[in-house]
Homo-oligomer: A and B are copies of this chain.
Amino acid sequence: MIHSNHFMQYAINEARKAFDTAEVPVGAVIVCGEQIITKVHNLSISDMDITAHAEILALREASHKLQTRYLTECDLYVTLEPCAMCAYAISLARIRRLYFGAYDPKTGGVDHGPCIFAHSSTHHKPEYYGGIEERRCSKLLKDFFINKR
């Protein structure tokens, strides 16, 4: 079995592309079996769309590629703890496992704030692991916001 850090590397590469185009540097990868289905990054500014977070784009693209709305055999890797919008979308898409990098105490929706997977009304709850390659994921974000000041 390929280690989760392996796939997170691809998500970090995507986050770097976001960084280079002045988007908040978050990248996401969806994996099925041991195959990468989609690699994307946040496009909120260039798409002029607040819903164009990396996770939403990844779910949409994977559904189109696999021709199914339900990604029950897929795992999602993302460099930042998903917000509530993305966490609930991950549940709706029935993602099997979620791996995220940096924790986000301010706007995270998995281990913080609305803690989407903690509610009985969230029918599908993926297995999830935070802090995968955390230092590298959060460094990109810190560098980005330092440049913004």
A-side residues, CB < 8 A to B, are 44-45, 48-51, 56, 59-60, 63-64, 67-70, 83-89, 92-93, 106-109, 112-116, 119-123
User: In chain B, what residue has the closest Cβ to A107?
Assistant: B121
Chain B residues lying within 8 Å of A60, measured Cβ to Cβ, are 49, 51
Chain B residues lying within 8 Å of A119, measured Cβ to Cβ, are 113-114
> Main secondary structure on chain A at its contact with chain B?
loop
Chain B residues lying within 8 Å of A114, measured Cβ to Cβ, are 84, 88, 109, 114-116, 119, 121-122
Taking a contact as CB atoms under 8 Å apart, the answer to whether B84 and A63 are in contact is: no
Taking a contact as CB atoms under 8 Å apart, the answer to whether B121 and A106 are in contact is: yes
Bound-complex Cα distance A51 to B89 (A) = 6
Least CB distance, A82 to chain B, in whole angstroms? 10
On whether A84 and B116 interact (CB within 8 A), knowing A69-B44, A121-B106, the answer reads: yes
